[in-house]
Amino acid sequence: MTSLLTRPDHARTDAARPRPLVLIATLGGALAALGPLVVLLAIGVIGWFATDAGVHGAPRDGMRVGALAWLAGHGSGITVMGARITIVPLGVTAIAAWSMWRLGHRVGDSVSGHGPDADRISDGERDFTVPTAIALFFAAYAVVAVVVATLAAGTTADPSLPRVLGWTLLLTAFVAAPAIAIGSGRAAIWAAFLPASVRAGAAVAGAVLARLLAVSALVFLIGFVASFDEAATMTSRLHPSPGEAGLYALVNAAFAPNAALFAGSWLLGPGFAVGGATLVSPGAVVLGPLPVVPLLAALPAVGTPPGWVGALLALPTLVAAVTTHRTLRGRLLTWDRIALAGCGGGLAAGVGFALLASLSGGAAGPGRMRFVGPFTRDVLVHAVTACGIGALLGASVLAWFAWRAARSVPSDPGPAASTGTGSGTGSDSVAED
């Protein structure tokens, strides 16, 4: 451990006076919130000027739109012309999560010198450095969220502060907390206490989920590119100026992750709804009147899809099998632990995808557009089944080779044989003497 090596006097003096944990974690949480917020405020002002060259309103109106976009990315929802819109632009959420991860990792690296070292932690000494940093990080981020929601609130928007705080808590728990733990080095110490099969299963879950999301995004992009002419026609119906067209493209891009999760739900079989009494699945497509949104150009044609579309349902299982095989290939585990890690990781990846899919839907307008998004319960069942079976198949190949290798190893002769050999040798030597 380099932290325990002898250091020069000036280094020892700096280490004796580390930067305060409270200041580091609090500043990190505030900067993680302010980074994406400032970018969206700037985009809002640029969009306000690009729409009518600043003839109507004031720059604060554009800033308010940017603040509402930041809040919407944190699940606040907004009210537009009396209609409640709760669907979350996951593109904004992804930017906020990336900011949380970067700042959280830096906070963890900065507080790594606080608390006991690795040896004392291994001896069982309690270490509250990471939990304290996480709590302060969340508190600072939440304060920024409360201030933004208070300033942006109004009768025409009405963002939900409890939902913002709830999403902030989720982001902190699943993004900032792991980043702080990894940056501080505590995650590696804690992981050393876990069984090897659990660590392997976690690696499988993360890899399978990431590959499934990538394939879902690819399917959406293929569908969108194939229907790009229709998307351009939709945009031209609004007769936007170049500046308005660019701003409208950014708004659609903010919902591209939602569309990718919709595509993943379609790949798994259950599909999704785009309004009440609608269905988009590999077996049938039932649609009604749709708003003029270019992303919707990627939707398949109404009716019964071609027969070859059903073959795409095997993609999630195939992705899980190949990813699990590649993830577990270099790990030294027994055959039963390989199978357990593969199956458990696949099941966890399926649950993770269903949770993300449940966050991608919501109300997108009045009337029938209040029901937009995947069928979460069905997606959960299909995702767990497809990822679990696929991961088990991918792990079974490695488990079979590991089982054969274990059987081919000759058995140990045992203590009795060793004793007999030793006795015989001793008797011969005595007789020779």
Q: Are residues 160 and 222 in the same domain?
A: no
Residues 21-66: tens digit of each pLDDT: 899 999 999 999 999 999 999 999 988 887 766 666 677 888 999 9
* 248 and 397 part of one domain: yes
* Domain shared by 157 and 226, yes or no: no
Residues 217 and 155 in one domain: no
Domain that holds residue 154: 19-193
Two tokens at 72? Answer: 């919407």
For the chain, residues with pLDDT lower than 50 are 1-15, 416-433
Residue 423 lies in a domain: no
Please tell me whether residues 179 and 40 are part of one structural domain: yes
8 within domain boundaries:
no
348 in the same domain as 234: yes
Q: Is 1 inside any structural domain?
A: no
Query: Which domain-ending residue is among 193, 219, 244?
Result: 193
Co-location of 89 and 237 in the same domain: no
Same domain, 40 and 180: yes
Give me the residue label for tokens 């170049």: 242
Q: pTM for the whole thing?
A: 0.87
Instruction: Kindly state the tokens that stand for 406.
Output: 């274990």
**Residue 54 shares a structural domain with residue 202:** no
Boundary of a domain, candidates 159, 193, 227:
193
pLDDT digits (tens, 9 = 90+) for 277-326: 899 999 999 998 888 889 999 999 999 999 888 899 999 999 999 999 99
Per the structure, the count of domains in the chain is 2
Question: Do 108 and 253 belong to one domain?
Answer: no
- Same domain for 60 and 86, yes or no, is yes
Q: Would residue 319 count as lying in a domain?
A: yes
